[in-house]
Amino acid sequence: MKLSVVTPIHNERENIAEFYNELTTALLSFYNDYEIVAVDDGSTDGSWTELGKFAQNNPLLRTIRFRTNHGQTAALMAGIHHALGDIIITIDSDLENDPADIVRLIRELESGNHDIVSGWRQDRWKDHGLTRRLPSRVANWLISRITGLPLHDHGCTLKAYKKEVFDDVELYGDMHRFVAAYLSWRGARVAEIPVAHRPRRYGVSHYGIARTFRVLLDLVVMKFLNTYMNHPIRFFGGIGFISFLLGFLAAILAVVLKLLHFADLVETPLPVFSALFIIVGVQMIVMGILAEMLMRTYYESQGKKPYTIAEKLNFS
């Protein structure tokens, strides 16, 4: 089987030579049929020129350059779209991932009943205080609970995939952190093994605490799409019925208070609340119906199917 190694690059000029040498050495030690797909995500430090020096002498290094910075998710998806291999490895180019771990990922992928093998940077924060370890553990625990995929390290780029798991899959935003979880929702079987983590040698890390909020928002979007993509009326209609029920109860209470001479309708805000909740309830139900129509249009206009097939027998 052919192997494709996909690596996103953004302002990593100082790391490229060492990364390329380590990667090719590791690949040649156990695999001959491979390609490297490097995606320059709008670098401004000369990374593209540095990549070109190696691509001229090695046709197995295929390079793509974005016109501007689109983010790591877009870079990974571009590389995956252009990959020709049956197995896809994703790896960062900042030397924090060790290319020597690729062989272990592939062996686990081939020996076990898995579609994805994810790396776990087990010792990543061992020399850091709780200010780095605790947020990382909490974030991974939260992602595991919400997605239902119990991984220790959802953010590790070093992963091995069978190519077919990406059929009809598109990722947006910063969703590369949840790619294993997203694919597991589509039936992919995921395993996790410890991998090495090395401190950055050159350049500046592109990650920070500011991305946490964007990651959480992307997580909410993914969870919504996975749970309600095919049945949006269940989400909007559920909220609508609850709101409608609250409005109905507020109206009954207002009438009871009036009949028992505790308060006139103009003396209590209950009629206003009743009207508000009923209007919101109707709007949410109508929104759910419109969402159902949009969902059907989405599938039918693009020829998509609301299911995925693992394999078939006795079909010509």
Q: Provide the residue-wise pLDDT of the chain in tens; the chain has 316 residues.
A: 789 999 999 999 999 999 999 999 999 888 788 999 999 999 999 999 999 999 999 999 999 999 999 989 999 999 999 999 999 999 999 888 999 999 999 999 988 789 999 998 887 766 665 666 677 788 888 888 888 889 988 888 999 999 999 988 888 777 888 889 889 988 899 999 999 888 777 666 655 555 667 777 777 887 887 788 788 898 999 999 999 999 999 999 999 988 888 888 878 889 999 999 999 999 999 999 998 888 888 777 777 776 677 677 767 6
Q: DSSP readout, 15-52?
A: HHHHHHHHHHHHHHTT-SSEEEEEEE-S-SSSHHHHHH
CA-angle at 19, arms to 16 and 23, nearest 5°? 135
C-alpha distances in angstroms, 269 versus 243, 247, 248, 258, 295?
16, 12, 14, 13, 39
